[in-house]
Chains A and B, each alone.
Chain A
């Protein structure tokens, strides 16, 4: 395995080629051959070493779906509420004005 530079694109590529999955298979086969159960402490240490070496700058949650970071999420949540309140105030004001005209 060549040393992988960090970026979520490369992390994705790694998963897509299922090298990670094949590595898992490999370790479980070896464990079976050695009559050990899988996973175990050695497997843990092995994978931690892999992560330390190859995935230094990868995102901690991999590819799974998650909410955007808070600085993007909060504007998305707050802006519609503000627009709603503004629109309500506008409608109340306009219906008051049409009363005055009639």
Chain B
């Protein structure tokens, strides 16, 4: 995703923080010393410039103009007299920011502006490195934010996985749609893919981004890492799509039936993302084989991001369809089920737009410096804290999980209380008697909790569903 331009900015800053040439000095020619890595880039640019100057058609408009020229760093086209022209700063030096603008003035007589002190033609590169130290600070903050976000995501996701595995017997006793057996399986796979995605991202951020020496050496391992990174990104979004398809099949296509075969979901979630990732690897190796495949300036990245956006769109339409069905068809006849399904769908409905919004607003970074910074922070939070968000919404904020955790806590508390009483007296039989009586109490307690969760009342059909769920799950 294009957030990596911030990390490529950090990459370029890693070797040194000062420019090798003091460009503001009007007398210094912008010719760099031999054997510097920037020199080849500058020579390439010069070649391109003279090719363009050779092949572009001559100036056709009326009036005086300044001739096209190469100023040593950038190529300037024919410009009308008395006007400024500007273009993006070059990226030859670590502290030049390619998003800033360099400008050049063509005066009224049709000659390029000469600096008054040296009387030579001079282009204005002052904006290119004037804000670099602040930008470096922001880039570092965002970098550490990303690492913390992924670490938090991994932690919360592992806790959620633990909850799902530990409590699976309790959940399977009752058929509650928001946490049915199969839905839990899908959640588990989704969480695992998020964990792996965060692991690969942290590996990339820690080993490749701050390490320009590694990028220069360009070993195969860093390209393999990038391949798996793209694969895991695909897995994330395709598992979200699987969740959407499951809910859609359950609610819209065949209402109330639960048993679907999950083989196809596994295929779509784990197997299919290999396809875009492999196509991207092949295309990148053949046509845009830069070091470690770090560059984000290529449209070949859309080989992976295109299917991801398609999956998000499809998911969004499925969810809208589900909401439509719930609101129109079930509202009048089956109010309780409709409410129940609404609550189940609510979590997915919140998550899909949140996950997708980063792709929608990414092209519209504001021009204003402050607004741009705020935009960067918001985008980074949306992108790197996704795992935490998914774990919270699907697991920690889920009513059934909270109920189960509360009951477990009550059980522990009473067991501790019992054990303390045991130390004082030697009657162990009372302990087992109490623990047996716990079980029916616990089941009844859950039923009443269910009533509260559903808000109002339990229909007859829901009770039937509950009973049949006990036998099937």
> Does chain A have a CB within 8 A of B279?
yes
> With the chains together, A25 CA to B108 CA distance in Å?
33
> Does chain A have a CB within 8 A of B25?
no
Residue in B closest to A98 when the chains form the complex, CB atoms: B261
* In the complex with contacts A63-B44, A92-B249, A44-B53 CB distance below 8 A: yes
Interface of B is mostly: helix
CB of B283 within 8 A of CB of A76, answer yes
CB A28 to nearest CB in B, in angstroms, measures 5
CB of B303 within 8 A of CB of A88, answer no
Interface membership of chain A positions 73-102, coded 1 if the CB is closer than 8 angstroms to chain B and 0 otherwise: 100110111011101101110111011101
CB of B29 within 8 A of CB of A24, answer no
* In the complex with contacts A73-B300, A99-B257, A88-B241 CB distance below 8 A: yes
Residue in A closest to B314 when the chains form the complex, CB atoms: A88
CB of B67 within 8 A of CB of A41, answer yes
CB A90 to nearest CB in B, in angstroms, measures 7
* CB neighbours of A83 from chain B (8 A): 275, 307
CB of A87 within 8 A of CB of B272, answer yes
CB B356 to nearest CB in A, in angstroms, measures 15
CB of A60 within 8 A of CB of B44, answer no
CB of A62 within 8 A of CB of B310, answer no
> Does chain A have a CB within 8 A of B54?
yes
CB of B307 within 8 A of CB of A98, answer no
Residue in A closest to B47 when the chains form the complex, CB atoms: A62
> Does chain A have a CB within 8 A of B70?
yes
> Does chain B have a CB within 8 A of A15?
yes
CB of A77 within 8 A of CB of B306, answer yes
* CB neighbours of A52 from chain B (8 A): 54
Q: Which residues of B from 286 to 328 have beta carbons under 8 Å from A? A: 287-290, 295, 298-300, 302-304, 306-307, 310-311, 314
CB of B121 within 8 A of CB of A40, answer yes
> With the chains together, A32 CA to B54 CA distance in Å?
26
Q: Which of A20, A81, A98 contacts B43 (CB 8 A)?
A: A20
> With the chains together, A83 CA to B304 CA distance in Å?
12
CB of A73 within 8 A of CB of B249, answer no
* In the complex with contacts A85-B310, A87-B268, A67-B48 CB distance below 8 A: no
> With the chains together, A79 CA to B69 CA distance in Å?
42
The number of chain B residues touching the other chain, given as a range, is 35 or more
CB of B314 within 8 A of CB of A85, answer yes
Residue in A closest to B27 when the chains form the complex, CB atoms: A37
Most chain B CB inside 10 Å of its own CB: which residue of A52, A58, A80? A80
* CB neighbours of A72 from chain B (8 A): 287
CB of A39 within 8 A of CB of B72, answer yes
> With the chains together, A64 CA to B46 CA distance in Å?
12
* In the complex with contacts A44-B53, A62-B48, A88-B314, A95-B307 CB distance below 8 A: no
* CB neighbours of B311 from chain A (8 A): 84, 88
Q: Known A-B contacts: A83-B275, A84-B311. Give 8 more (CB < 8 A).
A: A20-B43, A37-B118, A40-B121, A55-B51, A80-B303, A84-B272, A91-B264, A92-B249
Give the top 3 A-B pairs by smallest Cβ distance, nearest first.
Answer: A99-B254, A84-B307, A37-B120
29 contacts between A and B (CB under 8 A): A20-B47, A21-B39, A21-B43, A38-B31, A39-B69, A44-B53, A47-B50, A51-B50, A61-B48, A61-B51, A62-B44, A64-B48, A65-B288, A65-B290, A67-B287, A68-B288, A80-B306, A84-B311, A85-B314, A87-B268, A88-B245, A91-B265, A92-B248, A95-B249, A95-B253, A95-B260, A98-B259, A98-B261, A100-B254
Binding site for A on B (CB under 8 A): 29, 31, 39-40, 43-44, 46-48, 50-55, 67-72, 118, 120-121, 241-242, 245-246, 248-249, 253-254, 257, 259-261, 264-265, 267-268, 272, 275-276, 279, 283, 287-290, 295, 298-300, 302-304, 306-307, 310-311, 314
